Amino acid sequence: MTNPLLASFDVVPFDRIEAKHFLPAVEALINDAKSAIDQITQNQDPATFENTLLPLEFSSLHLERVSQCFFNLLSAHTNETLQNEAQHISPLLSNFKNDILMNAPLFERIKSIYNQRETLDITAESHQLLERTYKSFCRNGALLTPEQQEEVRAIDSALSKATLTFGNNVLSETNAFSLNIEDQATLEGLPESFLERAAQKAKEKKLDGYLIGLEFPSYMPLMKFAKNRDLRQNLWLAYGARGAQNNERDNKAIIDQIVTLRQRRAEILGYTNHAEFVLEERMAKSAKNVNDFLGDLAEKARPAAERELEELQNFASEQLEIEQIQPWDQAYFSEGLKKKLFNWDEEKLKEFFPLNQVLTGIFSIAKRLYGLHFEQDTAIPVYHNEVSAYRVFDANGAFKALLYCDFHPRPSKRDGAWMTSFKTQFKTSQENHRPHISIVCNFTHPDNQGIALLTFQEVTTLFHEFGHALHGMLADTHYPSLSGTSVSWDFVELPSQIMENWCFQQESLSLFAKHYKTQEPLPLTYIEQINALKTFQEGLQTLRQIGFATLDMAYHDGQFAGQEVVAFERAVLAPLQLIKHQHPYVMSTAFSHIFQGGYAAGYYSYKWAEVLDADAFSLFEERGIFDPQTAKSFAENILSQGGTEDPMTLYKKFRGREPKNEALLKRAGLLAED
């Protein structure tokens, strides 16, 4: 049978792809790419940008597309076969990457061009490609001895397997837990929509009553609304036990392995630790800068957090005479305090945010800002029947991108929300090849009428991921490795986080926030509540995020050094936790961002990018949130440029100056009063 992955394709032929196709396709395409690189190194002419850098940049394009497809499916719609194949494919790709980056004749040609960089007649974007390519070779072993290179190869192969195992364990642990509750009274306080879904889940498993799981749309409502404190505690402990139960899915030893391998790799390459290696290529530049940034934020957030916790404790004591609030109480009493202070009712607010309506609203906002038009195309093959696909056009009707949307949880999908791509944008002399982008989330499933009502947090999550998608869809660069989200990881969150601001503006909310039954616009009182809530418990939330980032840095800046995971985590987080975790709850063993994803020594970038997004959005606020010139400048200087220039250079082109943190502190309510 012909392997559909080896044929030339534009739209991924999901209707013809099977799991068994990936490994032979990857093996064949690696061989093709190696042949292309051999042609470069065997060229007897002096090395030039045109005969070396250009063919190298495009040498493995088909392989990269197949790899993107494979790893996207592994995250969004996995199965045992894909997971088994990943254990073969990941090391193959890791070894292939090292074959390129440790290819001495190839590096000599690149080095020769790099040494002439001041006299080359090439574009600024081409200079950036040369700079990044040369650095990539140096940072991945080109200057090492053969013995050191072999050790790096072995480390990379081991890391590719270990990070996969970590992610598989988290998914398996999440899916393995379920709680069958037959007495509805145990679920007192939970909304009717939650009970309906839980009852449907139980029915699907041929059980009576209700079935509760650890996937976020099941776990979070229970923590917010369940009056039964013991039930909240049980769920909280189960959520925190994922990957830490001393069973075959335990991740503690995997964490030790991953951190140790990253540390050793950094040392071989001449860095003190993995954080130093990572941050050299980020806006932050050093672990000291990151820790100073986090420490300064923590200092500003802590007084507010202490006041907020005291207020929450007083409220809990009034409600249930609880002497000491516990971690499993925080979301529940926070929800009650919101209701008291702001007359907040999340269930009523959800009625104004049906998913399809919110998505239409996002499309309308993108049209007003960037002239984009979205048309669903049911003829495009998708990898699951819950996925929808859209063709995206600009204001002139020119095709810009494909957009896949995959919104609901299932056992085959990992937790969280993310944007990814199935095809990267790039230009050739004949064509501007447009990108294929995907948004993947885990929102509440539709009810029996097919309506999925989103919490406001889910609304902001969708806007966040759509901001990433815009970064991909509006990409307009020549080289695939510089396109779209191929930017510094502490810059990549700017397009996503700035997009969340349109969730809070009356002018944009009026486009889509309407009652799902009556089409009544979202009342002004709700909009005022939403904006008032932006600073609600912001001190506690900021400390929480700083805790995640601090833990990430501690694992990767040399502090860990093989310590016991649970004790290490507790020691690192203790100064930042106002509600102590003196219980068998572990965060690290399910911290997929840093042990499976790409955020190792980079989790701080969420807070870093908040400074950028608050400062950047303040310009929209000054000029109007749909001001065409401001939107055009953001598209031209940020969204379209990818990694073609230094991120601070791009930011200053848009904002006219470097970012200031006053806008973030003001938005978060953390500015000290005079």
Q: Which residues are catalytic, by number?
A: 465
Residues near 217 by Cβ (< 8 Å), separated by ≥ 6?
197, 409, 442, 443, 444, 445
CA–CA separation, 88 and 365 (whole Å): 43
**Range list of β-strands (E), 142-223:** 179-181, 210-212
The answer to whether 442 and 339 have CB atoms below 8 angstroms apart is no
Burial class from Cβ neighbours inside 10 Å (0-12, 13-18, 19+) for residue 397 reads exposed
Number of other CB atoms surrounding residue 159 within 10 Å? 18
CA–CA separation, 25 and 28 (whole Å): 5
Instruction: Look at the block and give the residue holding tokens 């940008």.
Output: 49
Number of other CB atoms surrounding residue 89 within 10 Å? 23
In terms of Cα–Cα distance, which of 328, 333, 344, 332 is closest to 310? 333
DSSP string, 281-330: TSSS-SHHHHHHHHHHHHHHHHHHHHHHHHHHHHHHHHHH--SS--HHHH
As given in the structure block, the two tokens for residue 586 are 């572990």
Look up residue 52 and give its DSSP letter. Answer: I
CA–CA separation, 24 and 22 (whole Å): 6
CA–CA separation, 97 and 533 (whole Å): 47
Instruction: Look at the block and give the residue holding tokens 């390129």.
Output: 100
Q: Are strands 426-427 and 432-433 parallel, antiparallel or unpaired?
A: antiparallel
The answer to whether 584 and 327 have CB atoms below 8 angstroms apart is no
Entry field: residues in the chain? 674
The answer to whether 578 and 543 have CB atoms below 8 angstroms apart is yes
CA–CA separation, 98 and 136 (whole Å): 11
CA angle centred on 198, ends 196 and 202, rounded to 5°: 115
Q: State the DSSP H helix or E strand holding residue 406, giving kind and residue range, or none if neither.
A: strand 399-406
Number of other CB atoms surrounding residue 353 within 10 Å? 25
* Helix, strand or coil, per DSSP, at residue 188: coil
Look up residue 672 and give its DSSP letter. Answer: P
Number of other CB atoms surrounding residue 527 within 10 Å? 17
Q: Are strands 399-406 and 436-440 parallel, antiparallel or unpaired?
A: parallel
CA–CA separation, 96 and 164 (whole Å): 18
